Chain A
Amino acid sequence: MRPLRDEFLSEEDLDLRNLGEEELLAWWALWLEQAQATNDLDAHLYAHGVFTVEPGRGPGPDRLVDPAACAVRSAARPASP
């Protein structure tokens, strides 16, 4: 029996290591293309850096909020480095 192992990512994610170079590039490009479907949802959001949301915008498409409130709330919003 296989010993138990903590799982962090799916088998599909980890399968990238089994792809050849060309396959990886093709899959990566396809993934990026498909991910454009959510562009409207994150138009005003940031995934990296020290900013989290465009001034005057809240999470989601075209949601206007008070900029001052936004600056405070942005500190608690998810963001990458």
Chain B
Amino acid sequence: MTVYLELTRAFNDGALRAILSSGQAVVVHRLAIMSKDGDWILRERPEALEHVRRVLAARGSAYRFGAPLDVRWMSGGWSAHLEHRDGALRVRTDFVTRPPRIDALDLEALWREQEGAPLPVVDPRRLVAIKQTNREKDYAVIGELARLLSDPKEQLLASRSARDIVALGARHPRLLEDLARERPLLAAAARGEEALERALDAERRALVHANERRLARYAAAAEAWAAAWPATAHAIAGMPLEEAHEAIVARALGVLPFSVGTEPA
């Protein structure tokens, strides 16, 4: 078993608290192995975050620059980042409780769906949303994730293949028309594969830029925290994780805002 599966089990010991996400989830769905770091969606509850910190403390984990693994910051969409060694492996553990591009209702549904799962893992449809980043390589993964979806509606909303969309549209013309309101590029299917390819490229660029703007808002909000980090990192060096956590929380209060503004309309 890989370290990321072991950690997922340990995080969920006794209760569902963590859902394996992003690159390692893609492996569980048997697409590419492309990431050496672990990424989880955590329950936005103090008990869940405390448990995860305890699991990581037992492995000698330390904070990297990021938000404290504390509900006040995590509920604002921040991410927390820790790291430890496991034999020859550098194990990076990255956490959010509010994954981007998944709304509150859908997130709640994900938690319900994963209750009792032997290995809680983000499903392909939601991974498509999570992977809509500013990295080109993530769109290749989305292309294959879309092919794992069994529902034609979900496929039409996620596909990155003009050929697949045209073929699906031919089988489900009414659905294609209806979904064009939700995903405007689907309207280009009527003009053929080439028009659809151009629309897919434009959509990808728009998604890339939207994520860049999102990250820019967090970067701006974290400027003071970034300036304070070298001294903070020095102060917590060698501390047990829970002690380091308390120190980071104390230093982040009033420096790193709990929430970040939304994008202007």
Tell whether, in the assembled complex, residue A48 and residue B39 are in contact, meaning their CB atoms are under 8 Å apart: yes
Tell whether, in the assembled complex, residue B219 and residue A49 are in contact, meaning their CB atoms are under 8 Å apart: no
Q: Is B11 among interface residues, defined by CB-CB distance under 8 A?
A: no
Tell whether, in the assembled complex, residue A49 and residue B130 are in contact, meaning their CB atoms are under 8 Å apart: no
Task: Mark the stretch among B52-60, B89-97, B174-182 that contacts chain A.
Answer: B89-97
Partner pick for A55 among B22, B94, B218, B230, CB 8 A cutoff: B230
Known: A8-B160, A81-B22, A81-B130. A25 touches B1 (CB 8 A): yes
Task: Mark the stretch among B103-111, B132-140, B150-158, B242-250 that contacts chain A.
Answer: B132-140
A39 and B79 CA atoms in complex are apart in Å by 21
Q: Is B194 among interface residues, defined by CB-CB distance under 8 A?
A: no
Q: Is B190 among interface residues, defined by CB-CB distance under 8 A?
A: no
Tell whether, in the assembled complex, residue A79 and residue B66 are in contact, meaning their CB atoms are under 8 Å apart: no
Count residues of A near B (Cβ-Cβ below 8 Å): 45
Known A6-B160, A50-B214; further 13 A-B contacts with Cβ < 8 A: A6-B164, A16-B32, A28-B27, A28-B33, A32-B36, A36-B88, A48-B23, A49-B81, A51-B81, A74-B215, A76-B216, A80-B22, A81-B100
22 contacts between A and B (CB under 8 A): A6-B160, A8-B141, A8-B161, A14-B31, A16-B33, A24-B30, A28-B27, A29-B2, A32-B3, A48-B81, A50-B78, A50-B215, A50-B218, A56-B229, A71-B220, A75-B213, A75-B220, A80-B35, A80-B138, A81-B39, A81-B100, A81-B133
